[in-house]
Copies of this chain bind each other. A is one copy, B any other.
Amino acid sequence: MTVRDDLEPALAAYLAERAQWVDATLERLLPPEQRPPGRLYEAMRYSLTAPGKRIRPVLLLAAVDAVGGDAHNALPAAAALEMIHAYSLIHDDLPAMDDDDTRRGQPSNHKVYGEAMAILAGDGLLTAAFEILASPELGAIGNAETRLAVLFDLAHAAGPAGMVGGQAADILAEEQDEIDLPELEFIHTHKTGALIAAALRMGARLGGGTADQIDALTRYGRHIGLAFQIADDILDLVTETDGGEHSKATYPSLMGLAAAREHADSLVDRALAELEPFGAYAEPLRALARYIVARTH
């Protein structure tokens, strides 16, 4: 899931400001000067502090806004979520997995630090995320019940029933000749969708949302997560100039371009419908949802 730079100015400013808060929090939680072994912390920081839009933590903070909470209190949780995302990229890039030598134009973690240190940097970021959420000093405010529930949201979304399960399904799908639409949807809703939905759920919970609000924003997250993926597939297809073969199944390749656009539109409509009770507080989430499909037309 990627966000392009052609955002409307107000949304772009909102996203950029919150991304900056997240960056500052990451710097505070994982500063350059750490205990030994320094090489491990360097490898963790290499991927964690690489420039990025911080879309998942920003969604978490926008969910806090949507329920009328104070986003600053949720920054440690937003940082923990970004650590989980960073770990997943490090492990996904490994030679045994997707075998990517670069990530956003930079050498991938294992190209710089070696495979062993890259595996450990991922393990370290994954574990540190839960350490932060459980820590009285580092963790987000809120009572223990809330912090435990937020931690469960994240662990459940990141683990075998979520992101790890989706990545495993993706690896297994590569061994098959072809996959069908339900399999593709399983991969995306788990590999990327679960963590995006968790971002909204965690934010709604930390912001003091009601059970109904938490569930509504979780559904919003599921819808936009999948819509983003379909939109990415469409953009990859229409900006493709070399006419090369598409070995990997995508939404347009499996359901056709027009139907894929319609599917993305309908998911965004459903996401927007979930936001109706939230009023003006949810304006950034609305703008984000609209932006997803605008770029596919």
Chain A residues proximal to chain B, CB less than 8 Å? 34-37, 39-41, 44, 91, 94, 96-97, 114-117, 119-120, 122-124, 126-128, 130-131, 134-136, 143-145, 147-149, 151-152, 155-156, 158-161, 164-165, 167-169, 171-172, 186
Interface centre among A39, A127, A134 (most CB of B within 10 A): A127
Beta-carbon nearest neighbor of A167 in chain B: B120
The answer to whether B36 touches A117 (Cβ under 8 A) is no
Closest Cβ–Cβ distance, residue A102 to chain B (whole Å): 19
In whole angstroms, how far apart are the Cα atoms of A10 and B119 in the complex? Answer: 42
The answer to whether B124 touches A160 (Cβ under 8 A) is yes
Copies in the assembly, this chain: 2
The 5 residue pairs across chains A and B that have the minimum distance between CB atoms: A96-B115, A127-B159, A144-B144, A131-B155, A134-B152
Closest Cβ–Cβ distance, residue A147 to chain B (whole Å): 6
Q: Is the interface of A mostly helix, strand, loop or mixed?
A: helix
Query: Which residues of B are found within 8 Å of A160, using beta-carbon distances?
Result: 34, 40-41, 44, 124, 127-128
In whole angstroms, how far apart are the Cα atoms of A201 and B284 in the complex? Answer: 44
Q: List 27 A-B contacts (CB under 8 A).
A: A34-B160, A39-B168, A44-B160, A91-B119, A91-B120, A91-B123, A94-B116, A96-B114, A96-B115, A96-B119, A97-B119, A119-B119, A120-B167, A120-B168, A124-B159, A124-B160, A124-B165, A126-B126, A127-B158, A127-B164, A128-B160, A131-B152, A134-B155, A135-B152, A136-B152, A143-B144, A144-B145
